[in-house]
Amino acid sequence: MIPGGRVPKVKSNNMDKGHFTSVHFQRFKALRDYSITLRRFNVLVGPNNAGKSTILGAFRILAEGIRKARSRNPTLVPGPAGDTWGYQVDLEGIPVATENVFFDYNESRPASVRFRISNGNELNLFFPQRGACYLHCNTKTKAVRSTSQFMNQYNVPVGFVPVLGPVEHEEPLYQRDAARLALLTHRAARNFRNIWHHYPDNFDEFRTLIKATWPGMDIQKPEVDHSGKDAILHMFCPEERIPREIFWSGFGFQVWCQMLTFIIQNKDSSLFIIDEPDIYLHSDLQRQLLEILKSLGPDILIATFHGNHY
């Protein structure tokens, strides 16, 4: 399915980003005391309940903590040895089961996840009790007291592919902030056209990938339809010169469009995470996904049932 046997490279701009080098879990879900080392390309392979989702879930919580730290200054929050500077992380809306954070369901002792960065700094998620989570910054130099200091010491944005699904038949035109949030949540499929309507900068690169990886298909930018009571978005996909709305293009193509969307939109991240692409993609597309990811700028972390293609 790859014309000429090669997929166009995704151009990224993350030369100044840091990298995650290791993660240490302590009493976090099924991991009592466990560490992993991260490299350029990482694959977690195992059956259900092996701990793959636990590892990825910790990064999802961290991503929310980083998002907050990039927008507001730290405050005094609970820490293992008393109050310390950090951030309260809102667990609501994160697609991770947080009611059973503690190892063996024992809430008598806190849980924690420590992320080590390539510059020697660390980020620590601290769970002192059910429903509570705090992000602490452990630096080798000056302590973090502002958003600018955080961004300078922890330039490690995390991107991931959310839960994918069929696109909406009629997708209302939402505000830009709704599209931004959709990039991070399970509502992504329901806001697919809004994402490209509000964030079109990389659309040409996305379209090039679609044409290179799905022969005979093309895709156009979203169009706003004001003919009804409420504005809705259409997105047409010419197939052998016959345009049809993406809703009618088939689930496989819809999922592939979403997968490439999140790859493109997160190409400047430090780490990019995909949870079990086997569920959505047949083997040919998995091989193409691998080629695309190998040329991507961020480090890669994939969880999968089978490691054959990776």
CATH fold for domain 3-12+161-304? Rossmann fold (3.40.50)
- Report the pLDDT averaged over residues 38-50: 88
Nearest to 130 by CA among 105, 148, 155: 105
At 6, is the pLDDT very low, low, confident or very high (cuts 50, 70, 90)?
low
Distance CA 114, CA 270 (A): 17
CATH code of the region 20-156 = 3.40.50
Most confident residue range from 29-38, 162-171, 234-243: 29-38
Pick the range with the lowest mean pLDDT from 102-106, 107-111, 305-309.
305-309
| Angle (nearest 5°) at CA 165 between 216 and 90 | 135
> Which tops the pLDDT comparison, 122 or 99?
122
For residue 184, what pLDDT is reported?
65
| pLDDT digit string, tens, across residues 59-94 | 999 999 999 999 999 999 999 999 999 999 999 878
Ranking 13-22, 99-108, 297-306 by mean pLDDT, the lowest is: 13-22
Return the percentage of the chain with pLDDT > 90, whole number: 66
Q: Which of 106-110, 162-166, 186-190 has the highest mean pLDDT?
A: 106-110
Which of 34-48, 115-129, 242-256: highest mean pLDDT? 115-129
Spatial separation of the C-alpha atoms in residues 158 and 184, rounded to whole Å: 10
CA distance linking residue 110 with residue 84, whole number of Å: 16
What is the pLDDT of the chain when averaged over all its residues?
A: 89
Cβ–Cβ < 8 Å for 95, 163: yes
Q: Distance of CA 54 to CAs 32, 127, 152, 154, 194, Å?
A: 12, 15, 28, 23, 30
Partnered with residue 225 across adjacent β-strands are 232
Amino acid at 84: T
Domain ranges within the chain, ordered by starting residue:
3-12+161-304, 20-156
Task: Give the pLDDT confidence score for residue 240 in this predicted structure.
Answer: 73
pLDDT-derived band at 282, boundaries 50, 70, 90: confident
CA distances (Å), 145 to each of 37, 85, 139, in order? 29, 8, 11
Q: 20-156: same fold as 3-12+161-304?
A: yes
Predicted pLDDT of residue 4: 40
Of 48 and 119, which is predicted with more confidence?
119
Distance CA(68)–CA(43), nearest Å, equals 28
pLDDT: which is higher, 49 or 283: 283
Is the pLDDT at 228 greater than 60, yes or no?
A: yes
What's residue 298's pLDDT?
Answer: 94
